[in-house]
Structure 1
Amino acid sequence: MDRQPSDMDLMKERFAKLLLGEDMSGGGKGVSSALALSNAITNLAASVFGEQRKLEPMAADRKARWKKEIDWLLSVTDYIVEFVPSQQKSKDGTNMEIMVTQQRRDLLMDIPALRKLDAMLIPERRQMVATDCQSSPRRAIGCIAKMYAISKGGSVNQVLKASMAINAQILSEMEIPENYIESLPKNGRSSLGDSIYKSITVEFFNPEDFLSNMDMSTEHKVLDLKNRIEASIVIWKRKMHHKDGKSSWGSAVSLEKRELFEERAETILLLLKQRFPGIPQSALDISKIQYNRDVGYAILESYSRVLESLANTVMSRIEDVLYADSLTQDPSLELCKLKPSTDSSPTEAQGSSPTTEDSEVPRTADSPTSRTLSDFMGWNFDQGETAINKKSLDGQFRKVLQRR
């Protein structure tokens, strides 16, 4: 009988792959340590959370595996240090300033913050359904009200916003790879296209009006716009740093106008990130992650990205259930109708992080594959009891709604 590998065996295997840079031949053709760690955190999250399709209690073994293995990977940051001045008193009572090592400042601040966000998010996935929803369909309204509070002003929303902010900050601090710069056109107009360029460089600019006039009907179009905007920002920033005119990046556009255009593009980019939090990584982000050599940045970026993706998935599930609840508030709507696509915002998570489910085409109530609130919540009824229980559940909803 084969024995289960011990934690020590698993740890040896994990760190051996990291040291080899994922090149198991040992030929030295592997990726950098930074990218290997980034991939390890991303793949761990995908294997642990990738099949979490409903709001349901997380299996204890999966939760334990996540905590154990993420601790292994984060332990690398304990040995990334910097010298800082410190006071030491000698034997004769004289104070001396010496240099001591401590964890690098960004890691010292961000790793505990991300661990706290992790601790806030994982219990929510376990408790949101376990407390009320799974025990009885009769408690559905109370559970939905609780999830509504969580999604609008509670832990999941906090984790999403905080992890997005940390991830954006880390990516902004990463160096832009030379091969990305070399792939850019020579000016912002070429990157954006004439239509977008004219819209950004008008005298009176409103970012909301700009976005409302853009075609963002698909995820691909949103990502393409994001790529164009980011490329133009890089071009304009480089031109401002080469304002002496000696570089081939030089231009007749004044420094003040270029700075104004860059600020407008930054505003558009910020609005895009807020409006479409689940959009995949841009070409610039992917390039930064791929060519980054700073192990600390790699860990912070991948950990925050994983938490952002996970929080976004939970929020999406909550919204699904809230929508199913809203169907009960209108007598003309059937409880078993599917949630239609209310907007065109993409729901896929970044990079190779866990993704949310694809949007489904709405079906009629008579469709054999249509889902009810019970399906959203993961309740299972025997086939013979389905009609009775659905009718009873609908009646419970209506009674509660009448008391509102």
Structure 2
Amino acid sequence: MSSLSGRRSQSLVIDMNSNGSQMPSPVLEREFRGSKIEWVPERSLKSQSSREYELRIEMEHLKEKFAKLLLCEDMSGSGRKGVSPALTLSNAITNLAASVFGEQRRFEPMEEERKARWKREIDWLLSVSEHIVEFVPTQQTLENGTTIEVMRNQQRKDLHLNIPALRKLDAMLLEYLDESQKNREYWYGSKEAGPREDEKWWLPTVNVPPKGLSDKAREHLQNLKEKVNQVLKAAMAINANSLAEMEVPEAYIESLPKNGRAILGDAMYKIMGDEFFDPDELLSSVDLSSEHKIVDLKNRIEASVVIWRRKMNNKDTKSPWGVASGVSQEKREQFEDRAETILLILKHRYPGIPQSSLDISKIQDNRDMGYAILESYSRVLESLAFTVLSRIEDVIYADNLAKDPSLAEKKRRPPSSDSCEPIPVITFDPKEEAESINKMEPNVATLSDFMGWSKDQDQEPKQADSEAALNQEGRSSLKKTLSPALNKRHFYLESLNALRSPLSRH
């Protein structure tokens, strides 16, 4: 039987028709469809069965993923060991990004299989946002011409504005990875070549021609670097706004001391209270040689801001014993503004630092599904943009090294004893940034312009209002990422590292 079936797959099948005569035909297979027997080509049957198998595997994967979401990570089903639905969805987006982008160690296009998986599964997770709605008033005209006001469902405003923007940023990052093949004159060393001897020993070695890259290839890399940097800024702005909307957990507040001076220390508190405040002086007075120490400084400053803001919101400035506080309301506002300036400088100098204690507490305690989606999606895109930016910088550094071998003796990044990947330092002068913001022309590019959205895309009044709101929000968000010297006071929270799920503080 086996030899017969094997021969039949390589030759013609001689079958009998209804009259009993032989009927030569191409290679055919019988397929039962209800009560009938139909003849279909064997090749078509194999391709059909392959598609059905892929769909069945995808369906099983979808069932498993949504079962975990519905169980809230409590596989026992008891309901006592799980987390909130918002945190479950946030962790799902984080883990998906970690599994897809975690191995992006080269500046090259993603594999089609990984890219298709990312697009498919992120659509599954983001589909929840389509059902988060709010009631909005709208005008409806009856048959007799009477106009009445009714309430209708509409996707929540923050999701309606930011989800399309994040999807656009997502598509742009994947497009920039695909553009890495254009004018490509560099290549990566093989695994047999051995590990690198610099601080990024776990990454493949970048090789360039002996005389370096051509001007055209170098210009292409610089152009991509600027584009990715713009995507990074937009993702950081959305992430910061999402975190700012989350409430500070009571458990975090209860763990803080009574005043900000106890957290900062006398030396730092004195510098922040000087009449002429210099952020660089404060940062130079603390040790920022490792990632752990940078995060510790962030935690202390954010905690002091929470304390000062909480005291300013309380109209009664007296202590529980009836004694007036020694710090005035204006002084606390000054401390808060200066603390936010330092946080902004740290954000620009060290964009890859991990989550702070306040960030982790907010994510863990958050119950709003919309905020969870916006925060986690913007965070993973921010991390991907930072990774792509680092890979581009590796190629540019290899080109600089080929043109100037003396750079090998210099360290382009500060040492870090507590982190695997050194944190890139970005030069930042608050005074210069403030002057550049004040000199901005009125027609500065907004987030809507950056995303490539046209003003005439939507004609309805409601959508026009949403576009105007997006322009205003995008302009303020991009300005916040550039300068702390803005008239609008905003509690600027730090961005999160995408590939780390929130950990418990205890």
Pick the TM interval, shorter chain: 0.7 to 0.9
Which protein is bigger by CA-based radius of gyration? 2
Which shows bigger deviation, 172-181 or 337-346? 337-346
Specify whether residues 307 and 260 from structure 1 end up closer, same or farther in structure 2 by C-alpha distance, changes over 3 A only.
same
Q: Which amino acid aligns with 2:414?
A: D
Deviation at 1:140, TM superposition (A): 4.0
Q: Give the match for residue 326 of structure 2.
A: 252
* Equivalences for residues 233-272 of structure 1 within 5 A: 233-245=305-317, 248=320, 251-272=325-346
Q: Give the match for residue 423 of structure 2.
A: 347
Alpha-carbon distance between aligned partners in 2 of 1:131 and 1:244, rounded to the nearest angstrom = 65
Specify whether residues 339 and 60 from structure 1 end up closer, same or farther in structure 2 by C-alpha distance, changes over 3 A only.
farther
Alpha-carbon distance between aligned partners in 1 of 2:500 and 2:181, rounded to the nearest angstrom = 20
Say if 1:237 and 1:262, in contact at 8 Å, map to a contact too.
yes
Q: Which amino acid aligns with 1:347?
A: I
Specify whether residues 15 and 102 from structure 1 end up closer, same or farther in structure 2 by C-alpha distance, changes over 3 A only.
same
Q: Give the match for residue 99 of structure 1.
A: 151
Say if 2:109 and 2:174, in contact at 8 Å, map to a contact too.
no
Alpha-carbon distance between aligned partners in 1 of 2:390 and 2:498, rounded to the nearest angstrom = 18
Say if 1:160 and 1:311, in contact at 8 Å, map to a contact too.
yes
What SS does structure 1 have at the residue aligned with 2:403? coil
Alpha-carbon distance between aligned partners in 1 of 2:141 and 2:498, rounded to the nearest angstrom = 52
Alpha-carbon distance between aligned partners in 1 of 2:230 and 2:415, rounded to the nearest angstrom = 24
What SS does structure 2 have at the residue aligned with 1:101? strand
Alpha carbon RMSD of aligned pairs, Å?
2.6
Which shows bigger deviation, 9-18 or 79-88? 9-18
Say if 1:310 and 1:354, in contact at 8 Å, map to a contact too.
no
Alpha-carbon distance between aligned partners in 1 of 2:137 and 2:312, rounded to the nearest angstrom = 37
Which of 261, 280, 292 is the equivalent residue of 2:366? 292
Alpha-carbon distance between aligned partners in 2 of 1:257 and 1:167, rounded to the nearest angstrom = 29
1:171 aligns with 2:247: no
Alpha-carbon distance between aligned partners in 1 of 2:352 and 2:300, rounded to the nearest angstrom = 18
Say if 1:129 and 1:143, in contact at 8 Å, map to a contact too.
no
Deviation at 1:351, TM superposition (A): 4.2
Specify whether residues 60 and 52 from structure 1 end up closer, same or farther in structure 2 by C-alpha distance, changes over 3 A only.
same
Which of 109, 112, 117 is the equivalent residue of 1:65? 117
Alpha-carbon displacement from aligned partner over 1:48-79 (angstroms, at most 9, x marks no partner): 01011111221000000000000100000000
Alpha-carbon distance between aligned partners in 1 of 2:116 and 2:153, rounded to the nearest angstrom = 32
Specify whether residues 149 and 190 from structure 1 end up closer, same or farther in structure 2 by C-alpha distance, changes over 3 A only.
same
Alpha-carbon distance between aligned partners in 2 of 1:133 and 1:11, rounded to the nearest angstrom = 41
Say if 2:383 and 2:498, in contact at 8 Å, map to a contact too.
no
Unaligned runs of 5+ in 1: 356-404
Alpha-carbon displacement from aligned partner over 1:259-292 (angstroms, at most 9, x marks no partner): 1111110111111111111010100000000110
* Equivalences for residues 163-202 of structure 1 within 5 A: 163-202=235-274
Q: Give the match for residue 69 of structure 2.
A: 18
Unaligned runs of 5+ in 2: 1-49, 188-206, 417-421, 425-494, 502-506
What SS does structure 2 have at the residue aligned with 1:100? strand
* Equivalences for residues 1-400 of structure 1 within 5 A: 5-28=56-79, 29-129=81-181, 132-133=184-185, 140-141=213-214, 142-151=216-225, 153-154=226-227, 156-245=228-317, 248=320, 251-330=325-404, 332-333=405-406, 340-343=411-414, 346-347=422-423, 350-351=496-497, 353=499
What SS does structure 2 have at the residue aligned with 1:82? strand
Deviation at 1:214, TM superposition (A): 2.6
Alpha-carbon distance between aligned partners in 2 of 1:192 and 1:304, rounded to the nearest angstrom = 30
Say if 2:414 and 2:423, in contact at 8 Å, map to a contact too.
no
Alpha-carbon distance between aligned partners in 2 of 1:167 and 1:186, rounded to the nearest angstrom = 29
Say if 2:258 and 2:307, in contact at 8 Å, map to a contact too.
yes
Deviation at 1:333, TM superposition (A): 3.9
What SS does structure 2 have at the residue aligned with 1:180? helix
What SS does structure 1 have at the residue aligned with 2:136? strand
Alpha-carbon distance between aligned partners in 1 of 2:317 and 2:330, rounded to the nearest angstrom = 15
Specify whether residues 159 and 339 from structure 1 end up closer, same or farther in structure 2 by C-alpha distance, changes over 3 A only.
farther
Deviation at 1:202, TM superposition (A): 1.3
Deviation at 1:344, TM superposition (A): 5.0
Alpha-carbon displacement from aligned partner over 1:345-377 (angstroms, at most 9, x marks no partner): 85399445179xxxxxxxxxxxxxxxxxxxxxx
Specify whether residues 17 and 248 from structure 1 end up closer, same or farther in structure 2 by C-alpha distance, changes over 3 A only.
farther
Question: Larger relative CO (CA 8 A, sep 6+): 1 or 2?
Answer: 1
What SS does structure 1 have at the residue aligned with 2:253? helix
Alpha-carbon distance between aligned partners in 2 of 1:206 and 1:185, rounded to the nearest angstrom = 26
Say if 1:43 and 1:352, in contact at 8 Å, map to a contact too.
no
Specify whether residues 338 and 42 from structure 1 end up closer, same or farther in structure 2 by C-alpha distance, changes over 3 A only.
farther
Alpha-carbon distance between aligned partners in 1 of 2:128 and 2:103, rounded to the nearest angstrom = 28
Alpha-carbon distance between aligned partners in 2 of 1:71 and 1:267, rounded to the nearest angstrom = 37
Alpha-carbon distance between aligned partners in 2 of 1:124 and 1:338, rounded to the nearest angstrom = 32
Q: Which amino acid aligns with 2:301?
A: I
Higher helix content, 1 or 2 = 1
Alpha-carbon displacement from aligned partner over 1:378-404 (angstroms, at most 9, x marks no partner): xxxxxxxxxxxxxxxxxxxxxxxxxxx
Alpha-carbon displacement from aligned partner over 1:163-201 (angstroms, at most 9, x marks no partner): 001101111110000000000010000111111111111
Percent identity, aligned pairs only, is 61
Alpha-carbon distance between aligned partners in 2 of 1:129 and 1:333, rounded to the nearest angstrom = 29
Taking structure 1 as the reference length, the TM-score comes to: 0.81
